[in-house]
Amino acid sequence: MTHATGQVMPVILTVTFPDLLFFFLAGLILACSVLVAFSRNIIHSAFCLLGVFTGVAGLYGLLSANFLAAVQILVYVGGVLIIILFAIMLTRGIQDARHSNPSNGLVSACVIGAVVAVVLITIAIGFPWKIKPVGEVASTIPGIGDALLGHFLIPFEVLSVLLLAALVGAVHLIRKEIKSEEKGEGQG
């Protein structure tokens, strides 16, 4: 790219494509998370969670974390959201979904949330972060692989044990309840 040195750049608000994308994704995330927090229908909340997860994946892409964006889609949209939808379907009938998501203490919760938001935003804007100069943005996948099997090897292995324990624990929680229910039915 060549720079025209003689020309004077006009003083206008130059908005590049990543900026537009950022504001679109931020709007999507915040609108959807407002609906997740305040919708009275739990199905609507679950589908707005889809918007939050995909918007956050887009932000990861903007932050040059391409691997994390893919993992976000795979794990959150493909895993967590499906688990949540399954749990909704298994616990509540679709027909009474309209008033399925009551809230109480909404005013005090909103006050606490607003205070926390103000404090966090004040810190985020006011603190002198040590910003590094933006250099060449490269793919981070080799770095993540090296870190996971190098410096972070022990936490990585502990995490795999934790996932196995979570799997066994979830199965155990469900299985025990079914057994006791069957016993109760047999007695009655």
Partner 1 sequence: MNLTLGLQHYLVVAALLFSLGLVCILSRRNAIGLLMGIELVLNSANVNLIAFAHFVEGGISGQVFALFVIALAAAEAAIGMAVVLAIYRSFKDIDISLTADLKE
CB of 107 to partner 1, least distance (A): 9
* Token pair 């750049």 in the structure block, residue: 9
Question: CA geometry: angle at 145 spanning 51 and 56, to 5°?
Answer: 10
Whole-angstrom distance, CA of residue 92 vs CA of residue 88 = 6
State in angstroms the smallest separation of the CB of 170 from partner 1.
Answer: 4
45 φ/ψ angles, rounded to the nearest 5 degrees? -60, -45
Cα(132)–Cα(34) distance, integer angstroms: 33
Q: How far is the CB of 3 from partner 1 (least distance, A)?
A: 15
Token pair, residue 55, equals 């918007």
Which residue number, 94 or 167, has a Cβ lying nearer to partner 1?
Answer: 167
Beta carbon nearer to partner 1, 5 or 12? 12
Nearer Cβ to partner 1 (1/148): 148
Cβ proximity to partner 1, 2 vs 130, nearer residue? 130
- Shortest reach from residue 108's CB to partner 1, in Å: 8
